[in-house]
Amino acid sequence: MPIRFRNGSKIGKTVKTTKNFPLTIEHVRKMFEVADLRERVILSTATDLGLRISDFIQIKKTDLPPLDIEPPIPFEVMTSKENVIALALVADPGLFSLNATNARLDAVLVLVSIAFIAILAIGAWIGCTMASTPPPKPIEEITAEIEEKKETPK
């Protein structure tokens, strides 16, 4: 059953406001904590550039300057709202080279590191066990005890 709104309902009206949501560094940090690799690159770049979201989403990789020079790398962006040139800075061009292959390599490195630490932990456990176990009796004492038991009548 489709939803019908009554005429004059407040739901259908748009209220214009000039209030802006003040984005704080804590909001950005919380977004960064839950973001995956791609989203972190987008979030870091968007906060570095300082552009409106409408201007940021229109940037293509071909619009960026060569990323092999010393950062921060300045480049100009034509804003869509006011049609003026905005100066933007790429603070960390290394972010653009991140991809799924690098993420997989990082995951493999983490797994290998965990396996290496596990092997070291097993070795430490064996060493601790060997250090805390008393040494066995010499064979001469054991054979002497066995002979005594044979000689003593029951």
pLDDT in tens, 40-67: 878 888 887 888 888 888 888 788 788 7
Hey, where are the domains in the chain?
23-97, 100-151
Closest CA relative to residue 99, chosen from 14, 11, 38, 19: 38
d(CA 18, CA 49): 23
pLDDT in tens, 60-112: 878 878 877 787 888 888 888 888 888 887 776 665 555 555 667 778 888 99
Is residue 127 over pLDDT 90?
yes
Query: Which residues, other chains included, contact 77 with Cβ-Cβ below 8 Å and sequence gap of 6+?
Result: 49, 51, 55, 59, 63, 85, 86, 88
Run of H or E residues at 117: helix 100-132
Whether 22 contacts 44, CB under 8 Å = no
**pLDDT at residue number 32:** 84
Whether 71 contacts 90, CB under 8 Å = yes
Whether 86 contacts 79, CB under 8 Å = yes
For residue 6, what are its two tokens? Answer: 């009554």
Q: Identify the architecture of domain 23-97 in CATH.
A: Orthogonal Bundle (1.10)
**Full-model pTM:** 0.44
Residue 6 DSSP symbol: P
Distance of CA 82 to the CA centre of its chain: 37
**pLDDT at residue number 9:** 55
Supply φ then ψ for residue 136, to 5 degrees: -70, 165
Confidence of residue 24 (pLDDT cuts 50, 70, 90): confident
Is residue 6 over pLDDT 60?
no
For residue 27, what are its two tokens? Answer: 């909001």
Alpha-helical (H) ranges within 2-153 are 25-34, 37-49, 53-56, 100-132, 139-151
Whether 51 contacts 78, CB under 8 Å = no
Average pLDDT over residues 125-154: 86
